Structure 1
Amino acid sequence: MSKQWIRIALGGIGIGLLATTLFANQFGLDNNPVWGVRRWLAFFLGFFILTIALIYRENNFLGHLFHTTTGQMNLAVISLGTVVILVYVWYVSIGLWTTFPNETSYYDLLATAFRNGQTHVDVAPDPALVALENPYEPRTREGIPLLWDATLYNGKYYLYWGPAPALALAVFKLFTPQEVGDKVITFLFTVGTFIFAVLLVLDVWKKYFSNIPRWAVLVGILFMGLVNPTLYILIEARIYEAAIISGQFFLLGGLYWFFNAIATPSRSRLALSGAFLALAVGSRTTLVPAVAFISLLMLFWVIKTRREQFISLTLAFALPLVIGAIAYGGYNFSRFGSVTEFGLRHQITSYNLYESLDETFSPAYIPPNLYKTLFNALEKREIFPYYFPTRWSGPDWLEKEYPRFYLLLGEGITGILTASPFLLFAVWAWGKKDKTFRWILFTLTGVSFMTFLTLQIFFFTTMRYLLDLIPALSILAVTGFWQGLSQLKDNRLYMVGTAIAGVSLVAYSIAISFILPISGHMEAFRVFNPELLKQLSWAFNNLIK
């Protein structure tokens, strides 16, 4: 009999789903004769499960998936990853599931421009705006229609955001003229970033922490997928968020191939790492310090461990970066006549950056930014969803000392230690003494530090900027948690205490991550899905009462 019950159970579930969808009208489950998206999904799920039941055997792929520890772990990771991605879909669609309410399509404009062989977008500036002596001063252009936050130069609109996502979109648009919103791009790169994060930690687990419980791996994956502000950025998801998350996708991709090259040196892996890192900068220019750190560490690693292959390995890694730098410089020169001008100086925004660009980065901004990044508190209210992000919750003395140009009350932000205290486990990651693993730790720590420092010297900070830091830092935190469990495996009391603390902090972090996108974007829910907001408010208000 052995495992025959699995086929019977799966067959029963599959047939049940098929029967339910096929005869939903007869059963009174659906009064609409036209099949909706959910009914089709249920039908295909039933068909898929029934197919598995029919082809399942203990000695084939499916049997190994169910009956070997490796297969069971892979199945658990895939299942958990699917749940995380479904959570992404719920938030990015504001609970609508089948449609993504979109706000901007800037990257689509840039992709269309690239397809037309130009670098400016096909939106003509208002003649009144072009006629102004100083169009960059907000007071002089009141009442004039404009493309917000675009770059105005020589009577044309350009975009200062990194062009890499638009290049990928331009390839897609070879096959379809359909407009692709920035929200779709944000969603796809968020999924991709999560996948690379999972691949990274699975490699680390298999090579360096195979002695820890498997549940700890799943807890780490869940945290990385749902840590704030991942869900927060999906609600609004404009070009700002798309540029940030695409940068993280390429950054983690570069780290993934770099770490694989450290374990098994290969020119192809280093070339892929360099290409991904070049695209990371091509998406988010503020990642230059992080990519520069990785590049220096790569040189040091080659000198220390592969000196005899120095030229070939270094060229494999550096060539894509050099090509990317030349391409980006050429892109800038074709637009503004300067390889180092990215368009910020000519941006049409809330500030006159044409006159104040030199003030956008300064060490003087570190004290207020440091407080907001680490500690900025939540505001507790008596209405759903009860906890709301604040713009500033710091002490009075710090509020009085910030520089004139600094934007203290710009946008809401919740400190990473307030929203995601599990990240404190990152400190514990350094307990591992394996030499190869130390290279990984140096890289993740350096990337996190360089990104953190860059955030601190900018003239304002906001929730979405945390996403520049969180992916690498969350990988460090997960490995730190595993390191704690590994070090304390011989002391059951301490290990259980560490496990309880870790799981509790993950649960708290995810709960806050679920709440903040709703409380921080209540207006979006009121506009696009008011019925859902009403149902959630009623359910939780009654539950808490």
Structure 2
Amino acid sequence: MANPYDFTARYTFGSENAPVFWDYAFFNGKYYTYFGALPALLMFVPFKALTGQWMPTSLAIIIMGVISIILLIALAASIAKRYFANTASWGMVLLMSVFAPLAVNLAYFGYMTDFYSVPIISSLAFTAGALLLWIHSRKRSGELSSVRIFLGSLLMACNLGCRPQFMIACLLAFPLFWKEITVTRELFSKKGLVCTICAFVPFFMATTPWMWYNYARFGSLLDFGANYNLTGFNMTEVRPSWFEIPAMWLMQLFQPTSVGGVFPFVQAVNNSLPSPNEPGLGGYFMIVPMALIGLLFFAFRKTMKKAHVYGLAWVLAIAIVVVSVVDVSGAGITNRYHGDFAWLAALLAMLTIFSIESTFAVLERGGCDCTQLKAAFLVLLVVFTLFTVFIYGFGAFSTGRYNALIDMNPDLYLTVKSWFMGFYAGQA
């Protein structure tokens, strides 16, 4: 073929001659996979060796999903304990433990159990584990644990073999260890030499094989092959203009959801932009409105500075913008890519919400009665949480999304639809 990346020409060639593989990297006449080689080595290869069968992607997603949920709940509790120990209530910690798994796009991955989801959900688990180890890197004796720092860095470096976008999480190490770097000098100093080495060595250990793998396939250490993907458009040439990217970015983050009074009550939304896109449930912050609270973090900078999380909040906010812009400019608009930055938004929202609760505590110590404000804030958080559950729950029955349930499992769809007969009054 003159241009194997031309979708129309490739479709015609595949129909008339031989099958053409979909969503593989094609380079110099050879097929390669660019989707999460590490999850394949950790789960799919052992499963094949032990059972002789191919591992269902749904099983891999369940495994990594359960691990992610456990680690995210632990992470929410750890953030409260480390930074807001005197003000975080058990009720708020419990609510954040519900919010964290709900806000990181796990519902989408649980529905779309295809191989696209495996690298992202694997990176989510590795990143949550890494952050948890870094947060708990200080021993009860007060010393830094070189072992925990090493393991945290190793898990973080594993993102390169899963979803490289998650490597931006490495930047969180600087605000997390800012005191150790600039004040106590337990890192990047002579007395902190062991811990510093333990922080960096895992990255060399983990990145070296992946970079060699990239070079062996594509002739570049940092080329993962995504641009050679055989998909619905030519990724080697097609790029959105600088005028389109802001509109695409806004739709990826803020496109309103479509809610109606007829089952399934939530419908897929489309956009009219001349750019790659998939039908989805809306922009991330419209599906998870509680995450919007995180965008107000700067309004609580005094409380955040006191808790030593203001720098962390800024890094999270900047990372959200960077990752989401890179995603839409490279591959278009899709709910799947919410997973690349949703965890960043969830962490930012948690820091802000705990800061707001801390602000209430300060006001009450000053003699202000915040009972009604606290109650209203709690009601708002619960409503936001229930709204997200509603969108993800009924969005699973949306007829306009990919792998629509009405096509994949019509019996289940019609059974659930029958429960709401009064809402559609005979409509199809």
TM-score bucket of the superposed structures, by smaller chain: 0.7 to 0.9
Residue 184 to residue 222, structure 1, CA distance change in 2 (3 Å): same
Contact 1:294 1:447 in 2 (8 A): no
For the pair 1:373 / 2:241, whether they are aligned, the reply is no
Q: For 2:51, what is the secondary structure of its paired residue?
A: coil
Residue 320 to residue 522, structure 1, CA distance change in 2 (3 Å): closer
Q: Distance in 2 between matches of 1:471 and 1:528?
A: 29
Residue 298 to residue 314, structure 1, CA distance change in 2 (3 Å): farther
Residue 368 to residue 199, structure 1, CA distance change in 2 (3 Å): same
Q: Distance in 2 between matches of 1:220 and 1:295?
A: 22
For the pair 1:250 / 2:129, whether they are aligned, the reply is no
User: Displacement, 1:513?
Assistant: 2.0
- If asked which structure has higher relative contact order (CA below 8 Å, sep 6+), I would say 2
Residue 136 of structure 1: aligned partner: 5
Q: Deviations over 1:75-114 (max 9, x none)?
A: xxxxxxxxxxxxxxxxxxxxxxxxxxxxxxxxxxxxxxxx
**Partner of residue 319 from structure 1, selected from 165, 184, 201:** 201
For the pair 1:460 / 2:328, whether they are aligned, the reply is no
Q: Distance in 2 between matches of 1:140 and 1:192?
A: 43
**Partner of residue 51 from structure 2, selected from 176, 179, 189:** 176
Residue 106 of structure 1: aligned partner: none
User: Displacement, 1:164?
Assistant: 1.3
Q: Distance in 1 between matches of 2:48 and 2:56?
A: 12
Could you tell which deviates more after superposition, 521-530 or 381-390?
521-530
User: Displacement, 1:440?
Assistant: 4.9
**Partner of residue 226 from structure 1, selected from 102, 105, 121:** 102
Q: Distance in 1 between matches of 2:255 and 2:157?
A: 33
Contact 2:159 2:166 in 1 (8 A): yes
Paired residue type of 2:409: N
Contact 2:38 2:162 in 1 (8 A): yes
Q: For 1:148, what is the secondary structure of its paired residue?
A: coil
Paired residue type of 1:372: M
Q: CA RMSD in A?
A: 2.8
Contact 2:261 2:424 in 1 (8 A): no
**Partner of residue 276 from structure 1, selected from 139, 155, 170:** 155
User: Displacement, 1:459?
Assistant: 4.5
Residue 435 to residue 371, structure 1, CA distance change in 2 (3 Å): closer
User: Displacement, 1:199?
Assistant: 0.9
Residue 341 to residue 452, structure 1, CA distance change in 2 (3 Å): closer
Residue 206 to residue 243, structure 1, CA distance change in 2 (3 Å): same
User: Displacement, 1:413?
Assistant: 4.7
Could you tell which deviates more after superposition, 481-490 or 190-199?
481-490
Q: How does 1:272-351 map to 2 (within 5 A)?
A: 272-288=151-167, 290-294=168-172, 297=175, 302-304=180-182, 305=184, 306=186, 307-351=189-233
Paired residue type of 1:186: I
User: Displacement, 1:385?
Assistant: 0.8
Q: Distance in 2 between matches of 1:498 and 1:529?
A: 40
Contact 1:414 1:463 in 2 (8 A): yes
Q: Distance in 1 between matches of 2:328 and 2:28?
A: 33
For the pair 1:493 / 2:375, whether they are aligned, the reply is no
**Partner of residue 259 from structure 1, selected from 125, 131, 135:** 135
Paired residue type of 2:267: F
User: Displacement, 1:285?
Assistant: 1.8
Residue 367 of structure 2: aligned partner: none
Contact 1:197 1:475 in 2 (8 A): no
Contact 2:249 2:324 in 1 (8 A): no
Contact 2:109 2:121 in 1 (8 A): no
Q: Distance in 1 between matches of 2:216 and 2:110?
A: 33
Residue 160 to residue 536, structure 1, CA distance change in 2 (3 Å): same
Q: For 1:258, what is the secondary structure of its paired residue?
A: helix
Residue 241 to residue 176, structure 1, CA distance change in 2 (3 Å): same
User: Displacement, 1:447?
Assistant: 4.2
User: Displacement, 1:276?
Assistant: 0.9
For the pair 1:506 / 2:385, whether they are aligned, the reply is yes
Residue 273 to residue 224, structure 1, CA distance change in 2 (3 Å): same
Q: Distance in 2 between matches of 1:483 and 1:296?
A: 20
For the pair 1:421 / 2:289, whether they are aligned, the reply is yes
Paired residue type of 2:332: F
Residue 517 to residue 301, structure 1, CA distance change in 2 (3 Å): farther
Q: Deviations over 1:223-270 (max 9, x none)?
A: 222237321232222121111111211122221112222686221111
Q: Deviations over 1:423-449 (max 9, x none)?
A: 122234743344554565455445434
TM-score, length of structure 2 as denominator length: 0.83
User: Displacement, 1:458?
Assistant: 3.0
Q: Distance in 2 between matches of 1:522 and 1:353?
A: 21
Q: How does 1:52-201 map to 2 (within 5 A)?
A: 132-141=1-10, 142=12, 143=15, 144-169=18-43, 170-201=45-76
User: Displacement, 1:206?
Assistant: 2.6
Residue 450 to residue 271, structure 1, CA distance change in 2 (3 Å): farther
User: Displacement, 1:295?
Assistant: 5.3
Q: Distance in 1 between matches of 2:320 and 2:146?
A: 26
Q: Distance in 2 between matches of 1:479 and 1:417?
A: 17
User: Displacement, 1:293?
Assistant: 2.1
Q: Distance in 1 between matches of 2:29 and 2:330?
A: 29
User: Displacement, 1:521?
Assistant: 4.4
Query: Number of matched residues?
Result: 399
Paired residue type of 1:187: I
Residue 457 to residue 161, structure 1, CA distance change in 2 (3 Å): same
Residue 225 to residue 435, structure 1, CA distance change in 2 (3 Å): closer
Q: How does 1:388-403 map to 2 (within 5 A)?
A: 388-392=267-271, 399=273
TM-score, length of structure 1 as denominator length: 0.66
User: Displacement, 1:303?
Assistant: 2.7
Paired residue type of 2:327: L
Q: Deviations over 1:351-394 (max 9, x none)?
A: 2334x17x37x75443112221232122344531122121227x
Contact 2:25 2:226 in 1 (8 A): yes
Ranges in structure 1 where 5+ consecutive residues have no aligned partner: 1-131, 394-398
For the pair 1:480 / 2:358, whether they are aligned, the reply is no
Paired residue type of 2:148: R
Q: Distance in 2 between matches of 1:454 and 1:495?
A: 38
Contact 2:396 2:405 in 1 (8 A): no
Q: How does 1:196-207 map to 2 (within 5 A)?
A: 196-207=71-82
Q: Distance in 2 between matches of 1:511 and 1:180?
A: 31
